[in-house]
């Protein structure tokens, strides 16, 4: 009897699938789902906007634990530029984030670099580096100017 392919590999068959799951895990504040997307590699690295660089799975998990302790993040990828070099995929992503403020919901933009590597367990995240975007990104997307950055 043939062995079935691992579920994880089926779910992470392309960098885009892994990326979609990354943003879903952000929205649902699901640490386990988030951490299942990362490569089993000492060099994994994560930088949240205006945060320190988090190196290794332990530090990255602690960062998401802290972030998700405040709830999910209404974050989505709105514009993606893709480069695939063999078993490595580099995505330059414009992210849109919505947050509730005392003045009502605000929309802002972040600039993220996401790097994925192809492994026997599917395409997994090697790196996420996000930083605040600005007026140019809001303009690029045709949004009204936002003060959120």
Binding site for its own copies (CB under 8 A): 41, 43, 45, 47, 49-53, 55, 81-83, 85-88, 90, 92, 94, 111, 113, 115, 117, 126-127, 129, 131-134, 136-137
Shortest Å, Cβ 48 to its own copies: 10
Instruction: Kindly provide the residue ranges of all beta strands, DSSP E only, lying in the chain, ordered along the sequence.
Output: 45-47, 53-55, 74-85, 88-101, 104-119, 122-132
Q: Is there a contact between 132 and 51 (Cβ–Cβ < 8 Å)?
A: no
Shortest Å, Cβ 140 to its own copies: 8
Q: Is there a contact between 39 and 64 (Cβ–Cβ < 8 Å)?
A: no
- The residues with which 130 forms a beta bridge, in sequence order, are 112
Closest to its own copies by CB, 14 vs 28, is: 14
**Cα–Cα distance for residue pair 146/93, rounded to 1 Å:** 19
Shortest Å, Cβ 134 to its own copies: 6
Closest to its own copies by CB, 7 vs 43, is: 43
Shortest Å, Cβ 28 to its own copies: 26
Strand 88-101 to 53-55 pairing: unpaired
């Amino acid at each position: 009897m043939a062995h079935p392919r691992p579920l994880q590999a089926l779910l992470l068959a392309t960098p885009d699938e892994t990326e979609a799951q990354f943003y879903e895990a952000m929205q649902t504040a699901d640490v386990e789902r988030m951490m299942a997307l990362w490569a089993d590699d000492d060099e994994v690295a994560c930088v949240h906007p205006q945060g320190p660089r988090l190196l290794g799975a332990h530090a990255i998990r602690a960062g998401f634990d802290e972030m998700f302790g405040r709830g999910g993040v209404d974050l989505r990828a709105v514009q993606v530029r893709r480069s695939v070099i063999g078993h490595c995929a580099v995505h330059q992503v414009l992210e849109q984030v919505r947050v509730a403020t005392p003045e009502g919901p605000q929309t802002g933009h972040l600039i993220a670099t996401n790097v994925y590597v192809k492994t026997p367990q599917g395409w997994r995240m090697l790196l996420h580096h996000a930083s605040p975007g600005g007026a140019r990104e809001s303009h690029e997307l045709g949004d009204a100017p936002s003060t959120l950055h």
